[in-house]
Chain A
């Protein structure tokens, strides 16, 4: 498996624009997580899904952020409108603790978002 795939790797956008980050989890994994990494706040969990259903979105900073998982192989994180304080690295991770017996989350390479 190619691992968790995120796109784009880098995104530069102007304040006020809509930004969409994409994630393809590892095939067969039924949990998907979105994390945000900043210097000030470290790694924060934004939202996670189980079997495509959002379970906990309490980490989503505000209504400008939304996430969807229309099927088992694809998820998006959208920011509309974007603001400079949204600049961060956004990671997607997936896990499948039941089937494999492994209990780790596998991370993508991240999307570095810069809002100017």
Chain B
């Protein structure tokens, strides 16, 4: 069975500061890992994905994430926060079967202060 834990349901940073959103997963097989972003009243948009290629994955809007098998982690980072980054972020895991049936973490709401 697969599961995802996102530490911190709310994270607040100042504009220009480092963004770090934490994600830990459990999976019985090598996983596929995803970060999605959800803006208010919108659907989920893919930020980036890990599918067993490079462990450091770059996504849209300057975000990146590093897969660390030893730590079962896939933390999301961005060097410098922008006001437009304020949104909810979801980490998800798939075991690569069932058309990528995703199991989501609880989400982290990122707030960016001016």
Give chain A's interface residue range (CB within 8 Å of chain B). Answer: 20 to 34
Contact of A103 with B96 at beta-carbon distance under 8 Å, contacts A33-B101, A45-B101, A45-B102 already known: yes
Q: Are B98 and A50 in contact (CB under 8 A)?
A: yes
Question: Known contacts being A42-B104, A104-B34, A104-B49, is A95 close to B44, with CB within 8 Å?
Answer: no
Whether A107 contacts B98 in the complex (CB less than 8 A), given A43-B90, A43-B104, comes out as no
- Give the Cβ gap from A106 to chain B, nearest Cβ, in Å: 8
**A48 and B99 contact, CB distance less than 8 A:** yes
Check A48–B96 contact: CB distance below 8 A: no
Interface residues of A in 99-116 (CB under 8 A from B): 103-110, 112
Q: How large is the interface on B (under 10, 10 to 19, 20 to 34, 35 or more residues)?
A: 20 to 34
Of residues B41, B44, B51, B107, which shows the largest number of chain A Cβ atoms within 10 Å of its Cβ?
B44
- Which residue on chain A has the smallest CB distance to residue B102? A105
A-side interface residues toward B, CB under 8 Å?
4, 30-31, 33, 42-43, 45, 48, 50, 55-56, 91, 93, 95-97, 103-110, 112
Q: Can you list 20 A-B contacts (CB < 8 A)?
A: A42-B104, A42-B106, A45-B103, A48-B98, A50-B98, A55-B98, A56-B101, A91-B43, A93-B44, A95-B99, A95-B100, A96-B99, A97-B100, A103-B49, A103-B94, A104-B49, A104-B100, A105-B100, A105-B102, A109-B42
